[in-house]
Structure 1
Amino acid sequence: MSDSPTDETGRIDPDEQRRAVRNRYARIATDSDSASSTAESNSDGDCCDDGDGCCDADADATDSTELGYTDEDVAAVAAGADLGLGCGNPTAIASLGEGETVLDLGSGAGFDCFLAAQEVGEDGRVLGVDMTPAMVEKARDNVRENDAENVEFRLGEIEHLPVADETVDVVISNCVVNLSPDKPQVFREAFRALRPGGRLAISDVVMTAPVPESVRSDPESVAACVAGASTVDELEAMLSDAGFVDVAIAPKEESAEFISEWDDSLDLSDYIVSATIEGRKPDADA
Structure 2
Amino acid sequence: MQATAGRRAVPTNHDEHRQNVREAYAQVAKANNEGKSSGCATSCCGTSDDSAINTLISTRLGYSQADLAMAPAGADMGLGCGNPKAIAALKPGETVVDLGSGGGFDCFLAVREVGSSGHVIGVDMTPDMVSKARANAVKGQYGNVEFRFGEIEHLPIADGVADVVISNCVINLSPNKPQVFRDAFRVLKPGGRLAISDVVATVELPEEMRNDAGLIAGCMGNASLIEDLEEMMRDAGFEQIRIQPKGESKEFIKDWAPGQNVTDFVVSATIEAVKQGSCCGGCC
User: Same fold by TM (over 0.5)?
Assistant: yes
- 1:131-150 superposed matches below 5 A: 131-150=125-144
**Structure 1 residues 23 and 196, CA, compared in 2 at 3 Å: closer, same or farther?**
same
Matched, 1:249 2:243: yes
Letter in 1 for 2:237: G
Cα pair 2:48 2:77 within 8 Å, conserved: no
**Structure 1 residues 28 and 207, CA, compared in 2 at 3 Å: closer, same or farther?**
same
Matched, 1:73 2:79: no
Matching residue of 2:9 = 3
Letter in 1 for 2:229: L
For residue 270 of structure 1, report the CA deviation from its aligned partner. 1.0
Matched, 1:99 2:88: no
Cα pair 1:261 1:267 within 8 Å, conserved: no
Match of 2:115 among 118, 121, 130: 121
Match of 2:49 among 38, 51, 57: 57
Structure 2: how far apart are the matches of 1:56 and 1:238? 32
Task: Give the % identical residues.
Answer: 55
Matched, 1:202 2:196: yes
Structure 1: how far apart are the matches of 2:232 and 2:192? 17
Cα pair 1:16 1:219 within 8 Å, conserved: no
CA RMSD between the two structures: 1.9
Matching residue of 1:175 = 169
Matching residue of 1:85 = 79
**Structure 2 regions of 5+ residues with no counterpart?**
1-6, 38-46
Cα pair 1:35 1:56 within 8 Å, conserved: no
Letter in 1 for 2:143: E
Cα pair 2:163 2:188 within 8 Å, conserved: yes
Match of 2:151 among 145, 148, 157: 157
> What SS does the aligned partner of 1:99 have?
coil
Cα pair 1:109 1:139 within 8 Å, conserved: yes
**Structure 1 regions of 5+ residues with no counterpart?**
6-11, 39-54
Match of 2:180 among 162, 183, 186: 186
Matched, 1:280 2:274: yes
The one-character-per-residue Cα deviations of 1:71-93 (angstroms, maximum 9, x if unpaired) are 11111112110011100000010
Structure 2: how far apart are the matches of 1:88 and 1:269? 16
Cα pair 1:106 1:129 within 8 Å, conserved: yes
For residue 4 of structure 1, report the CA deviation from its aligned partner. 4.1
Matched, 1:261 2:255: yes
Aligned residues between the structures: 263
For residue 58 of structure 1, report the CA deviation from its aligned partner. 4.3
For residue 211 of structure 1, report the CA deviation from its aligned partner. 2.3
Cα pair 1:102 1:127 within 8 Å, conserved: yes
Give the TM-score normalised by structure 2.
Answer: 0.89
Cα pair 1:130 1:136 within 8 Å, conserved: yes
For residue 269 of structure 1, report the CA deviation from its aligned partner. 1.2
Cα pair 2:48 2:78 within 8 Å, conserved: no
Matching residue of 2:28 = 28
Matched, 1:230 2:248: no
Structure 1: how far apart are the matches of 2:101 and 2:10? 27
Structure 2: how far apart are the matches of 1:163 and 1:245? 22
Cα pair 2:61 2:80 within 8 Å, conserved: yes
> What SS does the aligned partner of 2:49 have?
helix
Matching residue of 1:13 = 13
Give the TM-score normalised by structure 1.
Answer: 0.88
Structure 1 outlier segments of 4+, above 3 Å: 58-62
The one-character-per-residue Cα deviations of 1:138-164 (angstroms, maximum 9, x if unpaired) are 000000111111100000000000000
- Stretch moving more, 13-22 or 199-208: 13-22
Cα pair 1:31 1:56 within 8 Å, conserved: no
For residue 268 of structure 1, report the CA deviation from its aligned partner. 1.5
For residue 56 of structure 1, report the CA deviation from its aligned partner. 6.5
